[in-house]
A and B are shown apart, each in its own frame.
Chain A
Amino acid sequence: MPQQVQGDIEALCRKFRRRQIEGSLNTARATAELLRSLITRKGHPDATSLLSDVRIWGTQLQAAKPLELAVGNIVRRVLHMIREECQNEEKEEVATAKVAALSEKEKITGLLSRAFRQPPPRSASLHNLLDLQHDAAATAVPDGPAEQAVAAPSQHAPDSQDVAQSGAQRRRGGHWEGKASIIDQLNELVGELRDIDSNIALHAVEHIHANESILTFGMSDTVLAFLLEAAKKRDFQVVVAEGAPRYGGQELARKLAQAGLHTTAIPDAAIFAMMARVNKVLVGAHALLANGGVMTGVGSHLVALAAKRHAVPFVVLVGLHKLSPLFPHDPSVSFNDFKSPSDVMDFSMVAEVLDAEESTAGVSGEQLYVHAPNPVFDYVPPELISLFVTDTGGYTPSYVYRLLAEYYSREDYTLSKELLDTIIR
């Protein structure tokens, strides 16, 4: 069984490395499905062992595709589910113990007031500053990333603090009982990922009004679905910038025109000129980062700046599987990918340059180089973004921290110190 589990992980990692699975949605889906099958198959005596397993699996998967933050996001979400389930169990147990301990009279009087007495949430907050730190020390467990980092060089397992951390664990017949609920939630997550574009598109009519012109950049399935949904109810124009050097915009323009939308394709160089005439900019994103900035197709930063100059709202369509708790300058965000330079510069031209290089190299002793970098992503800072439209609604960049608190646990923000080190070095 363990070999099989490891084999499945390896198989997916291989697919990731070979780029057989591309795009954040596909990788997220593959990750969620694999985790679901692994969690279902492998037996776990308690939540702690499940947590550490998921963490190790997730680290391996993320290491296979460090650029795709969605992998880590899904893993963190699963970890968060497990932690929540654990907490719920603890809470229930405490509640039942309390009710049992109460005398008959107290049972009658205090029920309503007890209902409002929720134990404080576990994540660090100003209002449990004193409690939280105390509890952490009382169990004499090195808690928090600080000690973790200090101990990191000699640490045998990244999850040693986890083992002690999740406190009360129950062992009932060798299987953790909360698992069924985790699998249910994972099923939900997989379903959510399947419908994510259509869920984002549901908000289309709220954001696109009649007779507006919308500018978009490059190709994004999310944007396509969004525009097509809006076109069912509204009549509007779309201006598509081609998105050199991959020209995804041309493909998008063709698809929109086929669907009967009023479409204008423009070269990237005309974006600034067109900006004054549009009502809104809509783009997709590769990842939504913790400060509210996004990683998105190269060239989008220019679009965002042009939009700012003309005070045109810059709206980013992003599924919440792309929400990452990492900051753009975090060492574990390996930010950019580079594609073949042939998109930028034709190989025949490169050959000419190389020839020239050869002939002059002997003369000047210096080498002539033409660098033709072809990056894939741009970073757009939060101050240029007006709104995120996600599958659960619209949020401003300043609200992203709340979303993070909702979907992830702080302990999981850094998946693994080791992974981090392998990426930095």
Chain B
Amino acid sequence: MNKRSISGYLEQDERGDTRLKTREKPKLPLPQPPPPNPLAHVREPKVRFSIADDNSQAIQHSGGSAYTVPAGSSASEMVVRKFHDALARSPDTAVAVAAIKALTSVIERSTATTMMGLEKELKDAASSLERCNETAISLKAGCQLFLRYITRTSALEMENFEAAKARIIERGNYFAETSVRARANIAEVGARFIRPGSMLLVHGHSRVVLALLRKAVAQGIQFSVVITEGRPDETGLTMAQALDNMRVPTIAILDSAVAYALEAFRVDMVLVGAEGVVENGGVINKLGTFQAALAASCHNIPFYVAAESYKFARLYPLGQRDLPIERKHVDFGPLMPRNTHIENPSRDYTPPKYISLLFTDLGVLTPAAVSDELIQLYL
């Protein structure tokens, strides 16, 4: 038995029963990943997997769809198409927003006459959405949030099904604005943490972080940024370009120079975005976030995360192995020996103890407060 498949987590289902849910194996067209010892598998092809990844970045959506479209029933195709449409419409659309838009369109076309029926249809649609990219945490979190919202609405307003349905559709369509609002809120609360003359280290590209920095610039705060390159997709350079447009003094460094830069450039705070915020207040984000957090904690530099609250996910990873398995192609050039096995995870998990504070649209939260919010929602 694969070691990963037994690492499961407790999940509460709709009836309130708790069961141990083992993680579903990703349906990949290629063989399962090898056991941790790469020497045991000498004959591995160099590039083994190349499923697309989302990484919740705007840049990826523009050039070709990052999500695979599963073959399935027409209903599930429809919801997935809606999802892609929403993503393609604007590069600023967050994955969760697109997912909720798609789910709302399901409700609009639904023929169900009861709340239970509607919930069932939605659940199917959500699972087919999640199948597009099993590794996208923000997608999962968005679907979960919306489903939970439906359950709560049906519990609150049982009197009239049509009214409840209309209300849900209205709220769902409104969600995109919610997301923009959330970003503005985060920018407001977070920008106050940037003191004049300070030096920030930013890892990778994040719309929230960019909004926050833009806000600080608009407030007339002068600061400089150290930006990591963000290999292998060079998202850091996109960020650097945006910062350059804002005329913020920026230093670009290699990803491996984080620890060096924290000390050498006298960095005052580290600021990152997040793809997902998990139940214990830890974050899942672009690869390299964890090591930046470790380095920051060694240097006693505050480590801040900016994330919208709809990225709060009901996951409880205990370590890096508990993240959804996902691999991307990376080219190391012709010098790469044939038998050397390549691992290229695209995200990592940063435990809460390395995070000073989270800037969210619910306010500035300590990692402990994230659990509190999630418990309030799902209990």
> A residues near B, CB below 8 A?
117, 124-127, 129-131, 133-134, 137, 144-147, 149, 290-292, 327, 329-331, 398-402, 410, 413
Contacts and interface: CB of A to CB of B under 8 A. Distances in A.
Contact of B178 (A133, A146, A147, A291): A133
A126 B357 contact: no
A293 B361 CA distance: 22
Given A127-B376, A133-B174, A146 B145 contact: no
A145 B189 contact: yes
Contact of A134 (B174, B189, B364): B174
Given A134-B178, A144-B184, A290-B364, 8 more contacts: A127-B148, A133-B182, A291-B357, A329-B195, A398-B368, A400-B366, A410-B363, A413-B363
Which secondary structure characterizes the binding site on chain B? helix
Contacts of B356: 291
B376 A126 contact: yes
Interface in B295-311: 309-310
Nearest to A144: B185
Contacts of B193: 327, 329
A200 to B, nearest CB: 24
Contacts of A146: 181, 184-185, 187-188
Contacts of B156: 117
Contact of B312 (A126, A133, A149): A126
Contact of A133 (B177, B363, B376): B177
Contacts of A329: 192-193, 195
A134 B173 CA distance: 10
B374 interface: yes
Nearest to B175: A130
A292 B366 contact: yes
Given A398-B366, A401-B368, A126 B377 contact: yes
A408 B66 CA distance: 44
B369 interface: yes
A208 B53 CA distance: 57
A155 B107 CA distance: 42
Interface of B: 145, 148-149, 152, 156, 170-172, 174-175, 177-178, 181-182, 184-185, 187-189, 192-193, 195, 215, 219, 309-310, 312, 356-357, 361-366, 368-369, 372-374, 376-377
18 contacts: A125-B362, A125-B377, A126-B145, A127-B376, A130-B171, A130-B178, A133-B181, A133-B182, A137-B174, A146-B184, A292-B366, A330-B192, A398-B368, A399-B368, A401-B368, A401-B369, A402-B372, A413-B363
Nearest to B172: A130
Nearest to B168: A130
A400 B363 CA distance: 14
A126 B174 contact: no
Contacts of B373: 125-127
A137 B156 CA distance: 22
B34 to A, nearest CB: 39
Given A117-B156, A327-B193, A398-B368, A125 B174 contact: no
A314 to B, nearest CB: 17
A327 B374 CA distance: 24
Nearest to B363: A410
A134 B188 CA distance: 20
Contacts of B189: 145
Contact of B174 (A117, A130, A400): A130
A133 B149 CA distance: 14
A421 B97 CA distance: 35
Q: Identify the 8 closest CB pairs spanning chains A and B, nearest first.
A: A146-B184, A127-B377, A146-B188, A398-B368, A126-B373, A133-B178, A130-B171, A145-B188
A134 B170 contact: yes
